[in-house]
């Protein structure tokens, strides 16, 4: 039995016929990414409810030489979970729920398909939270966060998702379920001999592997205390270089610093236009700083800002409503940009190189597509920038290649915050990236010699494997 019906019947015998979806209308929702730009066609969508079912599904697919794409909440922005090659979609949506919360140890064990919002809801009841939080929290899953090594506003303080990960269970690309893979100690608890070395590398690269090394079925994650005393400042600066200087100083001296974002004035103006209001402060860019502590960090933040020469204007808030108002100048940028069109590339670059990157990208745009423009914003604390290009649809390929080259030359990487997925794979294929480290390549070759797991995604960028372009 090799046809689609035979495959559907086999998968249905594992998960139940109702959890194998094959009609085009139902599978359409699983076949494009969150940007709506990338559309594929799933051969079928299969929804296992347990790790054992998922392992059996993958074993079945491997026995038939069928490639598959792992999908969590499908909120990814780089088509990492999109079946562009007609793959089977293995969805973790039914593999959901918090298995245990150990409040004294600040740890939670959670199934991979659990939405981030659910994790935060359960953790909050114990005065805790997962340190990585993002706007797509209602749908984005723990498995997706791990696979993309997601970053959020607070990654500046606590690191990306990989830094929150203590242990994972993973179904390897050919269907073997490995339980208890300790990430922090980089060892598999039950593995011995050759397997041990292999699993140590799997633990090392699983965060950021974007589904290419297997499917995470469960994770033990660390939690941090919720800090509800917060102070937020919106600071206007005259130059992006001043924003960088301010950010570097804030990192050195503000012990309660929790988030730090950059919004260039073009983006501020778009947000103001969309809200029919005016920019809150005059300047080339705004820096949003947020401090969080057990007791109000307002004084620490205010005295820091008094000493900083780069400040051209400042608004400070401590109550939730006023803070949300300040955050809206950052939070509403993507929606405002959606109304003007264009395309975005998110990249990572060392903080000190941010001004130079923006200068270079603007010069490249002027040369390649006169009349186009760059709108930049992002997480200043971790050097993750969203570069939104307006008016360069015709020259997109050349523009993206020029941006990628500038990023690499300045010591950054194109994986940025959202990963490589299929959307940025083309940049790597053009040879503007470094090869992943040897152990990561070996691991992929050994675990997935037929390249069945997320075949269109080249990323092996977790930990030391972060790929550059
Ligand atoms: C409004 C909005 C805001 C966002 N903000 C941020 C942000 O601040 N920071 C950020 O980093 N990202 C952000 N994103 C992108 C996205 O939310 C993250 O990449 C998130 O981690 C994806 O989770 P997901 O469950 O939706 O994964 P999916 O989109 O389903 O998949 C993403 C990748 O992970 C793989 N994958 C999914 N589940 C598993 C699993 N169980 N095992 C192995 N591989 C798996 C997929 O194959 C794919 O390669 C945002 C997206 C939106 C729509």
pLDDT score recorded for residue 469: 32
Secondary structure class of 70 (helix, strand, coil): strand
Asked whether 34 lines ligand 1 (CB < 6 A), one says: yes
Q: Average pLDDT of 21-44?
A: 93
pLDDT at 113: 98
Name residue, tokens 């010591």.
411
The answer to whether the beta carbons of residues 78 and 386 sit under 8 Å apart is: no
pLDDT confidence of residue 183: 83
- The whole-model pTM stands at 0.93
Is any atom of ligand 1 closer than 6 Å to the C-beta of 151? yes
Distance 145 CA to ligand 1 centre (A): 5
- Decide if pLDDT at 201 tops 80: no
What pLDDT sits at residue 385? 94
pLDDT in tens, 8-26: 999 999 999 999 999 999 9
Quick one: which atom of ligand 1 is closest to the CA of 419? 19
Beta-carbon contacts of residue 23 (< 8 Å; ≥ 6 apart)? none
Whether the pLDDT of residue 433 is over 60: the answer is no
- Provide, rounded to the nearest whole percent, the portion of the chain with pLDDT above 70: 92
Interval 268-323: pLDDT, tens:
999 999 999 999 999 999 999 999 999 999 999 999 999 888 889 999 999 999 99
136 CB near ligand 1 (under 6 Å): yes
Q: How many angstroms is it from 254 CA to the middle of ligand 1? A: 30
C-alpha 152/C-alpha 136 separation (Å) is: 11
Average pLDDT over residues 32-61: 95
> Does 71 contact ligand 1 (Cβ within 6 A)?
yes
Distance 396 CA to ligand 1 centre (A): 24
Cα separation, 319 vs 232, in Å, equals 9
Give residue 464's pLDDT.
35
Q: List, for residues 315-359, the tens digit of each pLDDT value.
A: 999 999 999 999 999 999 999 999 899 999 999 999 999 999 999
Averaged pLDDT for residues 110-132: 98
* Helix axes 354-368 and 240-253, enclosed angle (nearest 10): 160
Q: Using a 6 Å cutoff on CB, does residue 79 contact ligand 1?
A: no
The residue contributing the CA closest to ligand 1 atom 40 is 143
Ligand 1 midpoint to CA 339 (Å)? 23
The closest residue, in CA terms, to atom 1 on ligand 1 is 136
- Residue 348 near ligand 1, beta carbon < 6 Å: no
**Which pLDDT score is estimated for 196?**
65
Give the C-alpha separation, 169 to 68, whole Å: 19
Q: What is the pLDDT of residue 202?
A: 83
The pLDDT value recorded for residue 468 is 38
Domains of the chain: 4-91 (3.30.43.10), 100-225 (3.30.465.10), 229-335 (3.30.70.2190), 341-441 (3.30.70.2740)
Q: Binning pLDDT at 50, 70 and 90, where does residue 94 land?
A: very high
Residue nearest atom 17 of ligand 1, based on CA coordinates: 75
Check if 137 has its Cβ closer than 6 Å to any atom of ligand 1: no
Of 205 and 74, the one with more pLDDT: 74
Q: Is residue 409's pLDDT more than 80?
A: yes
pLDDT at 182 over 90: no
* pLDDT of the residue at 461: 54
User: How far does the centroid of ligand 1 lie from the alpha carbon of residue 74, in Å?
Assistant: 7
Ligand 1 centroid – CA 148 distance (Å): 6
Long-range contacts of 356-362 (CB under 8 A, 24+ apart): 356/410, 357/385, 357/406, 357/407, 357/410, 357/412, 358/240, 358/264, 360/406, 360/410, 361/387, 361/402, 361/403, 361/406
Residue 7 or residue 414, greater confidence: 7
Q: Which pLDDT score is estimated for 467? A: 39
Is the minimum distance from the CB of 209 to ligand 1 under 6 angstroms? no
DSSP symbols for 290-345:
EEEESS--HHHHHHHHHT-TT-SEEEEE-SHHHHHHHHHHHHTHHHHHHTT--EEE
Residue 92: CB partners within 8 Å, gap ≥ 6? Answer: 48, 54, 70, 71, 72, 111, 112, 113, 141, 143, 215, 217
Ligand 1 centre distance from Cα of residue 417 (Å): 10
Report the pLDDT value the prediction gives residue 2, as an integer from 0 to 100: 57
* Residue 129 CB less than 6 A away from ligand 1: no
DSSP assignment of 373-416: EEEEEEEGGGTEEEEEEES-STTHHHHHHHHHHHHHHTT-BTTT
Confidence of residue 258 (pLDDT cuts 50, 70, 90): very high
At 36 the pLDDT is: 85
Please report the pLDDT score of residue 423 as a whole number: 87
| pLDDT recorded at residue 432 | 58
For ligand 1, pick from 140, 155, 215, 451 the residue to mutate: most ligand atoms within 8 Å of CB: 140
Question: So what's the pLDDT on residue 171?
Answer: 97
Residue 191 reports pLDDT greater than 70: no
Q: Of all helices (H) and strands (E), which one includes residue 71?
A: strand 68-71
Strand, helix or coil for residue 14? helix
């Amino acid at each position: 039995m090799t046809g689609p019906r035979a495959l559907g019947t086999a998968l249905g015998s594992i998960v139940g016929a109702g959890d194998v979806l094959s009609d085009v209308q139902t599978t359409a929702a699983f076949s494009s990414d969150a940007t709506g730009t990338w559309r594929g066609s799933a051969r079928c969508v299969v929804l296992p409810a347990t790790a054992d079912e998922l392992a059996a599904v993958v074993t079945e697919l491997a026995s038939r030489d069928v490639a598959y794409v792992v999908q969590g909440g499908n909120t990814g922005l780089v088509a990492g979970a999109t079946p562009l090659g007609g793959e089977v979609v293995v969805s973790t949506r039914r593999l959901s729920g918090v298995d245990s919360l150990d409040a004294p140890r600040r740890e939670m064990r959670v199934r991979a398909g659990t939405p981030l919002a659910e994790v935060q809801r359960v953790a909050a009841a114990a005065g805790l939270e997962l340190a990585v939080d993002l706007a797509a929290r209602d749908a984005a899953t723990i498995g997706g966060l791990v696979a993309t090594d997601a970053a959020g506003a607070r990654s500046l303080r606590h690191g990306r998702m990989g830094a929150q990960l203590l242990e994972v269970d993973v179904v390897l690309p050919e269907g073997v379920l490995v339980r208890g893979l300790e990430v922090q100690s980089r060892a598999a608890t039950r593995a011995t001999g050759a397997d041990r070395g292999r699993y140590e590398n799997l633990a090392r690269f699983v965060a950021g592997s974007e589904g290419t090394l297997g499917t995470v079925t469960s994770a033990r994650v660390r939690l941090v205390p919720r800090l509800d005393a917060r102070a937020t400042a919106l600071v206007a600066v005259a130059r992006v270089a001043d924003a960088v200087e301010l950010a570097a100083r804030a990192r050195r001296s503000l012990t309660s610093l929790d988030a730090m974002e950059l919004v260039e004035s073009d983006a501020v103006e778009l947000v103001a236009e969309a809200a029919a209001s005016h920019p809150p402060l005059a300047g080339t860019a705004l820096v949003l700083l947020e401090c969080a502590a057990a007791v109000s960090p307002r004084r620490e933040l205010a005295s820091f800002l008094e000493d900083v020469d780069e400040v051209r204007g400042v608004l400070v808030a401590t109550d939730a409503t006023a803070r949300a108002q300040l955050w809206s100048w950052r939070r509403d940028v993507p929606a405002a940009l959606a109304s003007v069109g264009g395309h975005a590339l998110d990249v990572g670059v060392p903080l000190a190189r941010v001004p130079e990157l923006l200068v270079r990208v603007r010069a490249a745009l002027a040369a390649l597509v006169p009349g186009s423009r760059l709108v930049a914003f992002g997480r200043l604390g971790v050097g993750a920038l969203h570069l939104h290009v307006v008016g360069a649809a015709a020259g997109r390929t050349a523009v993206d290649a020029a941006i990628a080259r500038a990023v690499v030359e300045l010591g950054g990487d194109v994986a940025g915050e959202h990963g490589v997925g299929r959307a940025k794979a083309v940049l790597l294929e053009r040879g503007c990236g470094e090869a992943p480290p040897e152990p990561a390549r070996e691991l992929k070759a050994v675990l997935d010699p037929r390249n069945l797991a997320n075949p269109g995604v080249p990323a092996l960028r977790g930990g030391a494997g972060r790929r550059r372009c």
